[in-house]
Amino acid sequence: MESSGKLLFIGPVEVAHGEIVTLQLPRSQMPFLLTDSSIYSIQKSSFFGSCVVGKTINSSTEVFIITPFDPIFLLLPVLNQIYSFRAYEEILRDSNLSALIGKSEILAKVSKFCECKDHQGQLYVRTTEEKINEWLQMKFEALVREISVKVPWAMSIQGQNPNATKTALGILYELLNDDFFMRLSMGFTIREILITGKPQPLRRQNNEIENFKPQQHSAKKKPQPPKKAANLPKGQLTLSFAKAK
């Protein structure tokens, strides 16, 4: 079995290649993979040990996860409060989102929170508060349902588990600015939302602290050099998963 230190990606089988772009979310920047029609987020995760891919052992302890991303989260801040019809492509260019122009899947979703008109072959849009609020509530409820059946500690047995609601709000908090986030009905503080699902530090009893004795070490081990993190190569603009001929 061969050994490899190549970057490891996990994603949908239909993704063969695409362009990597970094786009601004309300609270952070994030790398995305743009294909001919769709957009995917690229998230880095770490694990212990190695993994086996086919007949190869991959020694990297980091994996890049490629998942479908709803482009409306990128469009909401730039299309918000446009109450008069304006050219869709012009809005994207002015907002540094020109990479999204021409993506058919994204265009199909714009009508979910905008009024759309075609004039001389150009798409014109304007937002409506009613459509935006409907979409936000729909997305929130869909997340709660999905989490309550797939996340073990948030599953609903009898009635709704508050952990499912708080987890859904935590996800949306990272994707929405304060204006949109505060439109969701909540009964929790931001702190309660953000700590949900995260391990809390254990408190030692007083006697444990008093009786604690440091371990004796017979010999010092030679320090090992830190492992180099597996990052996307600087300046890399494309990804291709096509099989080698």
Domain that holds residue 79: 70-127
Binned at pLDDT 50, 70 and 90, residue 1 comes out as: very low
Q: Token digits for 81?
A: 């409060």
pLDDT in tens, 24-51: 888 889 999 988 878 899 988 877 777 7
State in Å, rounded, how far the first CA of the chain is from the last one: 21
The enclosing domain of 50 has a CATH number of 2.20.25.530
* pLDDT one-digit tens code per residue, 89-101: 999 888 888 888 7
Question: Which range, 56-60, 140-144, 153-157, 197-201, is most confident?
Answer: 140-144
Residues 8 and 64 in one domain: yes
Number of compact structural domains in the chain: 3
For 99-127, write each residue's pLDDT tens digit: 887 777 787 888 888 899 998 888 999 98
User: Is residue 214 in a domain?
Assistant: no
d(CA 198, CA 188): 16
Nearest CA among 179, 183, 175 for reference residue 81: 179
CA contacts within 13 A on the Cβ side of 108: 7
Does residue 218 form part of some domain? no
In-domain check, residue 46? yes
Segments in the chain forming alpha helices (H): 72-79, 88-94, 104-110, 129-150, 162-175, 178-181, 190-194, 206-210
pTM for this prediction? 0.72
